[in-house]
Structure 1
Amino acid sequence: MAKSNPGQYIREVRQEVSKVTWPTRKETMVTTIMVFIMVMLAAIFFFFVDQILSWVVRLIIGLGG
C-alpha cells in the first residue's frame, strides 16, 4: 500500500463523502421511530420470556407455582 500525504487523504475522503446519499429529515424521523418501536417490542417480548422461564425454574425447584 502506497503512503499518501494528509492533504491527498483529505481530498479523497471529501470525494467519497460527496458520493454518499444522505437521508432526508423525514426518512431519519421515520426510521428512528421504527427503531424505538422495535426496541419496545423486543423489551416486552424478552420481559415475558423472562417471566415464563422464571416461573418454570421456580416450578422445577419447588419454590412455588
Structure 2
Amino acid sequence: MANTNPLQFIQQVRAEVSKVVWPTRREVLLTTVMVFAMATLAAVFFFIVDQIIRFGLTSLLGFFG
C-alpha cells in the first residue's frame, strides 16, 4: 500500500471530484417524476393482480366450502 501525504491526498480528491458530471435540476426533476410514475404503475399492477388472485381463491374456497 502506497503512503500518500495528506496534501497529495487532498489534491487527488479534488482532481477526482472535478471530473464528476453533476445532473442538472431538470434531470433530477425528470428522474424523480419517472420514479414516482413507475412506482405508481407497479402499485396499481400489483393491486389488480392481488384482487384477481383474491377473487379466484374466494371463488375456489366458496365452491368447496
TM over 0.5: yes
Gaps of 5+ in 2: none
CA offset at residue 14 of structure 1?
3.3
> RCO (CA 8 Å, sep 6+): is it higher in 1 or 2?
1
Quick check: 22-31 or 5-14, which moved more?
A: 5-14
Aligned residue for 1:34?
Answer: 34
Aligned residue for 1:19?
Answer: 19
CA RMSD of aligned residues (A): 2.1
TM-score by length of 2: 0.73
More helix by share: 2
Query: Hey, what's the Cα distance between the residues in 1 that align with 2:48 and 2:37?
Result: 17
Partner SS for 2:23: coil
Query: Hey, what's the Cα distance between the residues in 1 that align with 2:37 and 2:60?
Result: 35
Percent of paired sites with the same residue: 56
Gaps of 5+ in 1: none
Partner SS for 2:31: helix
| Structure 2 counterpart of 1:17, one-letter code | V
Moved over 3 A (4+): 1-14
Rg (Cα) greater in structure: 2
